[in-house]
Amino acid sequence: MPHYRNTDRRKKSLSDWPTVVVTILVCLLCWVTGFYYSLGFPVTNNDVMLPFWDSFTLAIPRSLVYILGLLLGLLIAFIIQRISDIEMFFRERTRLVFLFLFLFLNTNAELLLFSKTTMVLLCLAFMFNELFNAYQWPEATGKIFNVGVLVGVAGLFLPQVLWLLPLIWIGMYQFHALSYRCFLASLTGVLVIFWFVLGWCVWSHDFSMFTSFFSSLMDFELFSAFRSFRYYHASFIVIVILFFTAFFHIKVDAINNRVRVRQMLSFLLNISIWLMVLMCLYRDTDSLVAIFFLPVSVLVAYFVEGMRNRIRFLLYYFVLTVSVFSFISQLWIF
């Protein structure tokens, strides 16, 4: 029989209101600081395939760009938290996933604004929700089609997202949701998006979007990102260390979990490792780091949730402090 931890109601959790309030206030302070110094503004997305997207982001007022970034960040963190609640990844009620993800997003100057990265994160958050809902449902062609569509839309903003498709198929196999119909549904969902783009190219007699897409998809430059590694990524180093610690903890603790939770955590581990590989292959890693935060927020929260109460608080506030100092260091760069 699996051994479940004590969930005594008197045991304090990081979902307590003081911690939630402190985290939200810190994130809002970072957001206000970024707005005051116009970090990352104006938004430029020259490599996005969608027509007029760059003109659209340039036409949005600065205040609206920041407000949309904050609101969509809240929505993304809420979706990932809702997934963890529905799938019952944790053995006690906690808001760690929301706190970690919202903290990671709002202490990174590149993610404060409404940009292509925000849209990629939003699409992938909904994609995870649809994929997990198809667990042990080989006939869930509608949900798997939605997965393909969401990956296709995210690929318009960041072509490297398409490299996640093999991992998604492996996840479908782990979840016993892989059938030839679901496989075709996922491919059809992706291709439908690009058929619309192809139709636009034919109508406008301009195929530069497709050529730029494939050129950016195949533009490998091994470890080039590390040559331009800046000191404000100190928080990312801490996150990576926590991820590998969570990796070994989850592997050791797997016997204490239900099969469903074990398979889903394994899928999130595979996605995270594959994203780290992609970070080593491409020059621009900012968007890939942001995607990395989605599964890692769940994995790190799972690891921290299993700690003793005092150690849990100390570790969380250590991550919060390092993230804030990393954000402050970014002010010297922009």
CB 193 within 8 A of CB 152: yes
CB 156 within 8 A of CB 48: yes
Q: What are phi and psi of 316, to 5 degrees?
A: -65, -45
CB 165 within 8 A of CB 190: yes
What is the structure's pLDDT at 1?
38
C-alpha 165/C-alpha 149 separation (Å) is 12
* Residue closest to 305 by CA, chosen among 264, 250, 255, 230: 250
What is the structure's pLDDT at 41?
75
What is the structure's pLDDT at 49?
64
C-alpha 264/C-alpha 63 separation (Å) is 38
The string of pLDDT tens digits covering residues 149-187 is 999 999 888 888 999 999 999 999 988 888 889 899 999
What is the structure's pLDDT at 92?
77
C-alpha 260/C-alpha 211 separation (Å) is 41
CB 319 within 8 A of CB 242: yes
User: How many other C-beta atoms are found inside a 10 Å radius of the C-beta of residue 255?
Assistant: 9
User: DSSP readout, 4-29?
Assistant: PPP--TTS--TTSHHHHHHHHHHHHH
* Residue closest to 146 by CA, chosen among 128, 167, 163, 171: 128
What is the structure's pLDDT at 242?
93
What is the structure's pLDDT at 5?
42
What is the structure's pLDDT at 288?
87
203-224 as b/e, with b when 16 or more CB fall inside 10 Å?
eeeeeebeeebeeebeeeeeee
What is the structure's pLDDT at 251?
86
What is the structure's pLDDT at 285?
75
CA angle 98, 230, 26 (to 5 degrees): 30
* Residue closest to 148 by CA, chosen among 197, 194, 198, 188: 188
What DSSP element (H or E) covers 250?
A: helix 234-253
Q: What pTM, to 2 d.p., does this model score?
A: 0.88
Low-confidence ranges of the chain (pLDDT < 70): 1-16, 45-51, 206-208, 220, 222-233, 284, 333-334
The string of pLDDT tens digits covering residues 220-230 is 676 555 554 45
C-alpha 148/C-alpha 288 separation (Å) is 19
